[in-house]
Amino acid sequence: MPENITPRHTFSVAPMLNWTDRHCRYFHRLLTHKSLLYTEMVTTGALLHGSSQRFLAFNPAENPLAFQLGGSQPKELASCAKMIEDFSYDAINLNIGCPSDRVQNGRFGACLMTDPALVADCIDAMRQVVSMPVTVKSRIGIDEQDSYQQLLDFIGTVANAGCKTFIIHARKAWLKGLSPKQNREIPPLRYDLVYQIKKDLPVLEIILNGGVTSLQSAQDILQHVDGVMVGREAYHNPYVLAEVDNNLYQTPTKIKTRDEVVMALIPYINKHIADGGRLHNVTRHILGLFHGVAGARKWRSYLSENAGKKDADEGVVLEALKHVQL
C-alpha cells in the first residue's frame, strides 16, 4: 500500500440511495467501528438550494464517514466541498458510477466517464478549497466505451488532477436499456481489470466494489487491491459486518451478538422517537439482522407489520426479538 494511504478504505459500506441514511449508518456502526461508511449520494443542487443542514448533519458515532456528491459543475462542487469539510467528514467522494436516467439527465454519474477532462476539473476545483481527501467512484466502463485502455486513460487523467483514491465498481454500465438494478446484476464482473489497474498504477489507492458477499471473498480481493467495498450484502445481511474489525483490521474486538446489537440500538430509537421521528425510520434498516438465523422471518414480519403504526415504540422491537427466540 502506498505510504501516503491510510487503512481507512480497507473495508467500506457503499453509498446506497434510500438506504444508507443516518439511521442505517448508526446501526452499522454498532457492528463495526473501523469500516468506512458513506452517506447516500447528495446532489450539488440539493446542498446549494435545499436544506443543507438536513443533508450534512450526522451523529459523531458514525465516523469514519465519507460524503458522496453528485454533480458536474466544478464551481458548484467546490462550494459544496467547503460545506462538507466544515462538517468534518473524513472524505468527499464524487459519483461517477450511477447509471440512472435521472442522474444522466443531470449530467453526472456514470455518463461522466466519457469526459475525463471534466471529471479532472471537478476534482481539481474541490481540492483547491479543501484539505480532506477527494475520491472518485466509477465503473470499469460504459456502453461501448469499455476497453481497458479507456479505463486506464480515465483514471490516469483524473489522478493527474490530484485524486489518489478510486473506488471501482467492477462492472460496466449500460446507460440505455438497463435499469440501475439490472446494471448491478447483468453486466459481468471483471475483477481482473481492477486488479490490473492496481498493477499499472501502483501509487494509487484502488478499492474494488461489486459482487462481494462474504468476508472470505473480501480477504481474497485484498490480496490484489487496497480495499473492498460491500453494498447490498451489508444491507440485506448486516451481521456480516460484525467480524470486519477482527478479520480485516486485526483489531481485537468483542463481537456483539445480534440480541446485544438490538439492545444497543434501543436508546437511539427512544431518542429518535422523542425528537418526533417514527420507529419505522430506524427499523426498516434492521430487518436483515437475523438473516440465516431461525426465527428471521418472524422478526422481519413482526417489525414490518407493526413498526409503521402511529404509536409504535421500542416495545415493538423488543416483542419482535421475542419472536426470534421462540
Alpha carbons within 13 A on the beta-carbon side of 127: 18
Q: Could you tell me which of 149, 163, 223 has the C-alpha nearest to residue 1?
A: 223
Work out whether the CA dihedral 282, 283, 288, 291 comes out positive or negative: positive
Query: Cα separation of 240 and 243, whole Å?
Result: 7
Interatomic CA distance for residues 246 and 255, integer angstroms: 9
Distance CA 242, CA 119 (A): 36
Helix ranges (H only) for the chain are 22-31, 44-49, 52-56, 74-86, 101-105, 116-127, 148-159, 180-183, 191-200, 215-221, 232-236, 244-248, 258-274, 279-283, 296-306, 314-325
The three cell numbers locating residue 38: 458513506
Query: 155, 201 in Cβ contact below 8 A?
Result: yes
**Is 111 tagged catalytic?**
no
Cα–Cα dist 107/117, whole Å: 14
Residues near 270 by beta carbon (within 8 Å), at least 6 away in sequence: 313, 314
Q: Cell match 420507529: residue?
A: 279
Q: Which of 98, 111, 122, 163 is catalytic?
A: 98
Neighbours of 235 (CB within 10 A): 18
Active site residue ranges: 98
